[in-house]
């Protein structure tokens, strides 16, 4: 009997010609909630950043392992996907709550800031009049991959190591031009009490960071990498 499901890549109604049903001894039914919970657990406890179908498969593998009364037995399975495509789905608390799969309280963005590690200043920034060479030097010194371009208290643009390196390799003379001439769009400003899940939607390859402010003052920066590390630690 068919039912709606959220785990992608499972339950297709087309059977491939290579499928031999005679090789299947038994089948199990696993809920979306159990599958996603196991995927998040694998990421958090084992450092395996997998998707929902791997969570489903692991749930079944553990059930089978518990049923086998043989301490020397080995259960083998394949984790066949990555969690990278599911940051806005099963790794988003908001999406999980919207789909009745998570009852955990909302987490504010300042919690992510509080868990950041490293010796770099709260916000490493560059002025619009600085040279591209100086911006690259700042990123290398503080081991960061992007910088907000700050004009006083205002973010007027942004630069990244990938963008600056690519442009400088194409035209080495750009190293001595000002950042304002080649900078990208400014990072979004978000309040420190904004829910983490809503901030995840703002982060992308084109927009790798957000600036966190409280009472109009910038308190820090949160990047895609920071958010991923935070999610994996939960």
Task: Check pLDDT > 80 for residue 67.
Answer: yes
End of a domain among 51, 75, 98?
98
Examine residue 218 and state whether it is found in any structural domain, yes or no. Answer: yes
Whole-number percent of the chain with pLDDT over 70? 93
Mean pLDDT, residues 11-28 taken together: 83
Residues 154 and 220 in one domain: yes
Mean pLDDT, residues 157-185 taken together: 92
Examine residue 9 and state whether it is found in any structural domain, yes or no. Answer: no
The CATH number linked to 90 is 3.40.50.1100
Residues 87 and 120 in one domain: no
Q: Which range has the worst mean pLDDT, 1-5, 38-42, 55-59, 81-85?
A: 1-5
Residues 119 and 81 in one domain: no
The pLDDT confidence band at residue 137, using thresholds 50, 70 and 90, is very high
Residues 225 and 179 in one domain: yes
Task: Check pLDDT > 70 for residue 104.
Answer: no
pTM of the full predicted structure? 0.56
How far, in Å, CA of 151 to CA of 154, rounded? 5
Task: Check pLDDT > 90 for residue 49.
Answer: yes
Task: Check pLDDT > 90 for residue 156.
Answer: yes
Mean pLDDT, residues 82-106 taken together: 85
Supply the range of the domain harboring residue 207.
109-233
Examine residue 173 and state whether it is found in any structural domain, yes or no. Answer: yes
Q: Which helix H or strand E contains 222, and what residues bound it? A: strand 217-223
The pLDDT confidence band at residue 2, using thresholds 50, 70 and 90, is low
Residues 122 and 94 in one domain: no
Examine residue 6 and state whether it is found in any structural domain, yes or no. Answer: no
Residues 36 and 75 in one domain: yes
How far, in Å, CA of 57 to CA of 35, rounded? 8
Q: What is the pLDDT of residue 3?
A: 66
End of a domain among 70, 98, 126?
98
Burial of 178 (0-12, 13-18, 19+ CB in 10 A): middle
Q: Alpha-carbon Rg of the chain, whole angstroms? A: 23
Q: What is the DSSP letter of 29?
A: -
């Amino acid at each position: 009997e068919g039912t709606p499901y959220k785990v992608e890549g499972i339950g297709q109604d087309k059977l491939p010609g290579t499928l031999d049903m005679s090789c299947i001894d038994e089948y199990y039914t696993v809920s979306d909630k159990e599958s996603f919970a196991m995927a998040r657990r694998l990421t958090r406890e084992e450092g395996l950043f997998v998707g929902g179908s791997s969570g489903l498969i692991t749930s079944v593998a553990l059930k089978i392992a518990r049923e086998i009364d043989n301490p020397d037995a080995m259960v083998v399975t394949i984790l066949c996907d990555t969690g990278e495509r599911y940051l806005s789905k099963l790794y988003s608390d908001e999406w999980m709550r919207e789909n009745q799969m998570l009852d955990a309280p909302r987490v504010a963005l300042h919690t992510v800031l509080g868990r950041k590690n490293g010796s770099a200043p709260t916000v490493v920034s560059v002025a619009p009049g600085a040279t591209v060479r100086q911006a690259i030097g700042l990123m290398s010194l503080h081991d960061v991959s992007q910088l907000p371009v700050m004009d006083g208290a205002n973010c007027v643009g942004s630069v990244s190591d990938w963008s600056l390196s690519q442009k400088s390799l194409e035209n080495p003379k750009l190293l001595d031009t000002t950042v304002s001439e080649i900078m990208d769009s400014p990072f979004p400003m978000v309040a420190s009490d904004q829910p983490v899940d809503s901030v995840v939607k703002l982060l992308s390859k084109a927009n790798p960071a957000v600036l966190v402010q409280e009472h109009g003052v910038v308190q820090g920066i949160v990047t895609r990498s920071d958010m991923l590390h935070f999610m994996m630690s939960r």
